[in-house]
Amino acid sequence: MIRIALHGANGHQIHNALAAHPGVRLAALSAFPRESLPATLRGDQAIREHPSLDSLLADPEVDFVSLCSPRRAGQAADAIRALRAGKHVLAEKPCAMNEKDLDALIGTARATGRVFHEMAGTAFGQPYFAMREIVRSGRLGEIVQVVAEKSYPYFNDRPQDEAVDGGLVMQNAIHALRFVEHVAGTPIVSVSAVETSFGNPVPGGGLRMAASLALTLRNGGVASIAANYLNPRGTGVWGDESLRILGTRGIVESRGGGAFTRLVIGETDHGPLDTSGPGKPFLRAVFASISAGAPPPFSLEEELSPTRWAIRAKQSAVQRNI
């Protein structure tokens, strides 16, 4: 049994997913409101509430900490403290906001022998798992170009301070960077980025509303990413994302947040993808790596490579604005 603690509610905390995993138990909370728990857990007095992360990390009845830290800029330090306290860690993205912290996280996980993962399951939900399997089968031939967009809506409470949630490139475009590396299977070797605050309804606000990234790939291919907070509610999807992977033999694509998919090989249009399967639940793989020592879907460096390129993309955009 893995005894889990939740710290922070600033992101996609895992409380609603725990019921699907019989080998885990919610043991403790800090900076997370009990009233946000599912009704089946809300009244469970065995779930302890801690006044701070330090108090939670001192709890011997906690094996695993899921972090959605109140300020993303401080989350890498929170994760390192948790690892050094002997806890396994799952962290909301971005798990770090600079490469020094990212390298320290990787090094600390190696040194402590604890399991560390970012919430990096983008490639394992549908339709992206099906697209990944098509790429891995070789049916598309050599991947020459990847074109991706990730579009979220603007809302009044979206943080103007990037230190709160990571900002446009590291909170939003990181998904599209995972499309490139984890779905299309094409490691990135360089990135150039531009971003703009144009369209931000808050005068003088720090929120970037749109960004464009140009990437070169290890295999000689190229990729482009558009990320923005311009998704109108009328689209009917929260994340209106698209992905098009173009190879020497064919293309596979998804649009409308996965509502439309298509596979074309040579002269044959195979139509929509079969996405009836459940994919490969990332959280299950995380728990299995702890309870059974099962190998994770990626090495830690592969898992966190999109985060590294998100950091570098942000640095590129900042340098262009100087």
pLDDT, one tens digit per residue, over 67-122 is 999 999 999 999 999 999 999 999 999 999 999 999 999 999 999 999 999 999 99
**Start-end ranges of CATH 3.30.360.10 in the chain?**
122-281+309-321
Helix axes 75-84, 99-112, angle to 10 degrees: 10
The Cα–Cα gap between 287 and 307 comes to 21
pLDDT grade for 292, boundaries at 50, 70 and 90? confident
pLDDT in tens, 177-218: 999 999 999 999 999 999 999 999 999 999 999 999 999 999
Under CATH, what is the fold of the domain 2-119?
Rossmann fold (3.40.50)
How much is the pLDDT for 322? Answer: 52
Segment 275-301 shows an average pLDDT of 90
Q: Which residues of 153-166 are buried (b: 16+ CB within 10 A; e: fewer)?
A: bbeeebbeebebbb
**Start-end ranges of CATH 3.40.50.720 in the chain?**
2-119
- As its CATH architecture, domain 122-281+309-321 has 2-Layer Sandwich (3.30)
The Cα–Cα gap between 284 and 306 comes to 21
Does residue 268 register a pLDDT over 80?
yes
Q: What is the pTM of this model?
A: 0.96
Segment 3-29 shows an average pLDDT of 95
DSSP, collapsed to helix, strand or coil, labels residue 252 as: strand
Which residues, in sequence order, are CB contacts of 117 under 8 Å at separation 6+?
A: 89, 90, 91, 286, 289, 296, 303
How much is the pLDDT for 278? Answer: 83
Q: Which amino acid is at 209?
A: M
Percent of the chain residues topping a pLDDT of 90: 94
Q: What is the residue-averaged pLDDT of the chain?
A: 96
DSSP, collapsed to helix, strand or coil, labels residue 191 as: strand
The Cα–Cα gap between 53 and 59 comes to 10
How much is the pLDDT for 3? Answer: 97
Q: Which residues of 246-257 are buried (b: 16+ CB within 10 A; e: fewer)?
A: bbeebebbbeeb
Ramachandran region of residue 43, left (φ > 0), alpha (ψ -120 to 50) or beta?
alpha
Which residues, in sequence order, are CB contacts of 79 under 8 Å at separation 6+?
A: 67, 89, 91, 95, 105, 108, 116
The Cα–Cα gap between 57 and 77 comes to 13
Segment 49-70 shows an average pLDDT of 98
Dihedral of alpha carbons 281, 36, 49, 105, sign: positive
How much is the pLDDT for 98? Answer: 98
How much is the pLDDT for 73? Answer: 97
Which residues, in sequence order, are CB contacts of 118 under 8 Å at separation 6+?
A: 90, 91, 92, 93, 94, 95, 303, 304, 307
From 273, 277, 237, 268, select the one nearest 254 (Cα to Cα).
273
How much is the pLDDT for 146? Answer: 98
Q: Which amino acid is at 122?
A: T
pLDDT in tens, 207-226: 999 999 999 999 999 999 99
Structural tokens at position 191: 């990135």
The Cα–Cα gap between 252 and 273 comes to 9
Does residue 321 register a pLDDT over 80?
no
Q: Which residues of 171-186 are buried (b: 16+ CB within 10 A; e: fewer)?
A: bbbbbbbbbbbbbbbb
pLDDT grade for 284, boundaries at 50, 70 and 90? very high
Residues in the chain: 322
The answer to whether 97 and 170 have CB atoms below 8 angstroms apart is yes
